Structure 1
Amino acid sequence: MNDTTHGIRIRPGSLADAPAILDMLDGAVAWMNGRGNTEQWGTTPYSQRPGGVARVEGYTTENAPYIAELDGRPVGALVLGSGPNPQVPIAPAGEPERYVRLLVSDRRYAGRGIGAALLDHAADETRRAGVELLRVDCWAGGGGELVAFYERNNFEPTDRFLVKEWPGQVLARRVG
C-alpha cells in the first residue's frame, strides 16, 4: 500500500528496516536529551540498550510495521500490534483493538506531519481490519506535550499507569 500525504509515502516495513528504525530511535533520544528530557527514554542510545536491537527486530517481524518515506528515505516508523506491549501494565480493551506499539520519526524532518500521517495510516489499517478501536500509550511526564500530540490526532486519554517512576497515559481513538 502506498498512502501519500504531503509527499510522505507509507509502505509496509520489514526486518530490513530495523537499522533505519534504530537510527530514528537513537536520534529521538539525542533530541530529547538536548531539550533536557532524560526521563522519557533515558540517555543511552536505543541501539545500545540491552535488548534494544532485538526489540526493534521483533517489532518488525511479529507485528505490522510501516515506514514513512520522503523522497525514498525512511523518515518515520509505526508498528501496529493487536494489543499493548506485554511489559506495560495496561488493562485489556475488552474488545478487538489495534495498538500502536511504536511511533517514531526522524527529528531532522520534524514539523512535516510524519507522525500524524502514520497515525492516520494506523486508523485506516484498523478500519480495514474491521476493528473500531485504536489505542496507544505514551509518556505522560514533562509538560504533557506527548499526550497533547495524540489528542491533536483524535485520541482521547483513558487510563494512566506508572512503571516505577515513569508516568504513562493510555489514549484511544474510535475509527469505526
Structure 2
Amino acid sequence: MHLRDGSVSDLPAAMTLLDAAVAWLASQGRTGQWGAKPFSAIEARVEQIRQMLSERTARVAEENGEVVGLCVVADEPLPYVDPAPIPELYLQLLVTDRDRSGSGIGSTLVDDAVDIARERGVKQMRLDCYAGDDEALIGVYERFGFTLERRFTVDTGQVEPWPGAILRMEI
C-alpha cells in the first residue's frame, strides 16, 4: 500500500468510496449514519468533500494505482463539535474500500494521521463518529487506539437528532 497527499483531484475517488460505504450501510439497514442516498447524489455533500480536499490535509491510500482509502485531518473539528482547549489534530473523514475491509487500510491511515500529529507537535487527536444503531463504529475507532470522550447529538431537522460520539487519542 502506498500513501500520498490528496487533493481536490481525488474527489471522484472519494465519492466512489463514500457511495460504496453508504450502499454497504444501507444493505444492512443501517441508514442512520449517512442515509441511503449516495453521497455523489447530494450536492451539499459533494461540496463538503470538495472543500475538505482543497482546504485540509488529505491523505490517500493506493494499491496498484487504485484509491482504496482516504483520510482528512485538520487543526479544528467540524462546526458541530466544540474546539479543544489544547492544540489538536482532528480526524474529519476516514473512509476505506469496503471490498478490502479488514486489510489494514484504516489502521494505516490512522497511523499516518498520528505521524502528522507528532510532526505538528500536538498532544491529542480527536474525531467524531456516528453513535447510533449498535455503536459498532465507536468500537472500530477504539480498536485504532481512540477512547470515548463523550456523546452528543446534532439537530439535523429530522424527527430524531443524529447521535454522535467524540473519541480522543493522546499523542
Correspondence for 2:119: 128
Could you tell me which amino acid in structure 1 is paired with residue 122 of structure 2? Answer: V
Correspondence for 2:36: 43
Alignment partner of 1:170 is 2:161: no
Correspondence for 2:102: 111
Alignment partner of 1:19 is 2:15: no
The Cα of 1:40 is off from its aligned counterpart by 0.9
CA distance in 1, matches of 2:40, 2:72: 17
Question: Deviation per CA, 1:102-151, whole angstroms, max 9, x where unpaired?
Answer: 10011111110111111111001000111111000000111111000111
Normalising to structure 1: TM-score of the pair?
0.92
Where 1:53 maps in the other structure, the secondary structure is helix
Tell me, which stretches of 5 or more residues in structure 2 are unaligned?
A: 156-160
The Cα of 1:50 is off from its aligned counterpart by 3.2
RMSD (CA atoms): 0.9
Tell me, which stretches of 5 or more residues in structure 1 are unaligned?
A: 1-7
The 5 Å alignment of 1:11-160 reads: 11-86=4-79, 88=80, 90-160=81-151
Where 2:9 maps in the other structure, the secondary structure is helix
CA distance in 2, matches of 1:117, 1:141: 25
The Cα of 1:19 is off from its aligned counterpart by 0.6
Question: Deviation per CA, 1:69-99, whole angstroms, max 9, x where unpaired?
Answer: 111210000000111111x2x2221010110
Could you tell me which amino acid in structure 2 is paired with residue 23 of structure 1? Answer: T
CA distance in 2, matches of 1:77, 1:130: 23
Question: Deviation per CA, 1:57-78, whole angstroms, max 9, x where unpaired?
Answer: 1011110000011112100000
Where 1:51 maps in the other structure, the secondary structure is helix
Where 2:43 maps in the other structure, the secondary structure is coil
CA distance in 1, matches of 2:76, 2:110: 16
CA distance in 2, matches of 1:16, 1:50: 17
CA distance in 2, matches of 1:141, 1:9: 33
Could you tell me which amino acid in structure 1 is paired with residue 48 of structure 2? Answer: R
Equivalenced residue count is 166
CA distance in 1, matches of 2:83, 2:46: 27
